[in-house]
Amino acid sequence: MANYEDSDIVIIAGVRTPIGKFQGSLSDLAAPQLGAIVVREAVNRAKIKPEQVDECIMGNVVSAGLGQNPARQAALFGGLPDTVGAMTINKVCGSGLKAVGLAAQAVQTGNAEIVVAGGMESMTNAPYLLPNARKGYRLGNGQIVDSMIQDGLWEAYNNYHMGNTGENVAEKYNISREEQDAFAVESHRKAAAAWKECRFASQVVPVEIPAKKKGAAPEKFERDESIREDTSMESLRALKPAFKKDGTVTAGNAPGVNDGAAAVVVTSYAKAKELGLEPMAKIVAQATSGVDPKWVMMAPVGAVQKIWQKTGWKREEVDLYELNEAFSVQAL
């Protein structure tokens, strides 16, 4: 347990479900149910008792219809005692990671010793909304609103789909359709190779799916199902622009619509040492950065620059940068 100080904030366990595609294997499970699976498994892998957890913080974006405080549901259904508080965080794509950051802050300030944190989402189960139902539909046609798009994928300030923010970046930085497609092909190739090489197996908890037929045994869902090994430049070239008539962002180089959950256990090194636990990683620094909403895809740049400033690191001193591939164009 070298290279740690007692005040360091560490992660002692982490786990995720396999990622289910839209209306796929996880479609019968609501977000809090998925969250409960990873909360329970994260605590098990951390080799701690549920009653040792002080708080559970979970990110969730499309919460419409899920019931009160989805994080609290995940905590209790995940085996944590009712003495453990819980908080749901909505920072859109950054919700789960922000939950981890808040967990680190809670431990750092002494408000908690052990926190379970992560994110959970079921885009499949996002409900449709009837905005005028309460006051009554009078004359003419009514509107049904897709909460997945309204609450998760619609840029509220410029009134367009988040895909258009990808188009903004492509235009400003002159990133071609071919470059975006090539990145997408390589991303799928890497993910497929990682599964073949068992790189993901240790971080995934299999999910038991209830059988459709009465009396049949449950099925185990064990592998991400949105990875397409057969993705090729040829197949992506056949796709039309999804958000702009003459655009470059397509369904093939844009993110998928998925279901899943992940959680980590955060504590101090002093507490981990007291419990005889080996940390997986240390949280050295965290930062947030805001930009004009139409340039949201570039927001990570400012956050990374803040991290360099906080730590004194130089860009070339970091061995690996991991970025949410919201769109190929964003990562490029």
* pLDDT range class, residue 1, cuts 50, 70, 90: very low
pLDDT in tens, 266-317: 999 999 999 999 999 999 999 999 999 999 999 999 999 999 999 999 999 9
pLDDT in tens, 29-62: 999 999 999 999 999 999 999 999 999 999 999 9
The conformation of residue 210, written as its DSSP 8-state character, comes to P
* CATH number belonging to the domain at 9-124+257-283, selected among 1.10.240.10, 3.40.1390.10, 1.10.3720.10, 3.40.47.10: 3.40.47.10
CB 179 within 8 A of CB 332: yes
CA-only gyration radius of the chain, Å: 21
* pLDDT range class, residue 215, cuts 50, 70, 90: confident
Annotate 41-76 with b (16+ C-beta within 10 A) or e (fewer). bbbebbebebebbbbbbbbbbbbbebeebbbbbbbb
Give the three-class secondary structure for 89. Answer: strand
Q: Residues with Cβ < 8 Å from 260, sequence gap 6 or more?
A: 16, 17, 18, 19, 20, 26, 34, 120, 121
So where are the chain's domains? 9-124+257-283, 158-201+230-255+289-332
What amino acid is encoded at 324 in this protein?
N
DSSP β-bridge partners for residue 99 = none
Q: What is the pTM of this model?
A: 0.95
Q: Which CATH class is domain 158-201+230-255+289-332?
A: alpha beta
Fold match between 9-124+257-283 and 158-201+230-255+289-332? Answer: yes
Count CB atoms within 10 A of the CB of residue 82: 8
